[in-house]
Amino acid sequence: MEQKNDLKHYAKIHSIESFGTLDGPGIRYVLFMQGCHLKCKYCQNRDTWDINSGNYQSLDDTFEKILRYKNYIKNGGVTCTGGEPLLQVEFLIELFKKLKKENIHTCIDTSRNGFFLLDIKHIDPEKCKSLVGFSNEKELAFAKYLSSIGKHMWIRQVLIPGYTDNEEDLLKLKSFISSLKTVDRVEL
């Protein structure tokens, strides 16, 4: 199938939300991408994990659907989430270029890779590995990198009793976040 090889013009899409209010500032068109390498125990979107599920959608079709909502999202924008949207980065780059030409604000909700919603799954590398299957080194390094190049971000962490609510770990998280220069908001 030609679509599978054309990563710039096709992506696996799980679903959309046309009136999102939790995934960035303002009212947002939220594009849920299909596929994720993490297996977070508390994931609310487990049906987005399998990269072989979802439906292929073309870049042009996705862009046209978003433009239908331009008046509603003018004080918000578009957020790509998932799953892990950066598994389909070639598509995102092309989509974001088109959206920027229309002056539509963009956001990527990612666990590691504008403006970014960055999920820190757990501040402790071993506890993170136990929780999601991978250590947190890449996510923390990415947050430091975003800060160093002046990219604004919101940092989010899910609080789960017995998993992510240890006071010592939360103080380490606070210390880490305090070391970053471009964090606009923290959501727990």
pLDDT in tens, 98-156: 999 999 999 988 765 457 888 899 999 999 999 988 899 988 998 999 899 888 899 98
Tell me what pLDDT residue 112 has.
56
Give the orientation angle of helix 89-101 with respect to helix 59-67, to 10 degrees.
Answer: 40
The string of DSSP letters for 8-73 reads TTEEEEEEEEEEESSSSSSSEEEEEES--S---TT-S-GGG--TTSSEEEEHHHHHHHHHTTTTTS
Q: What is the pTM of this model?
A: 0.67
Query: pLDDT tens for residues 61-71?
Result: 999 999 999 99
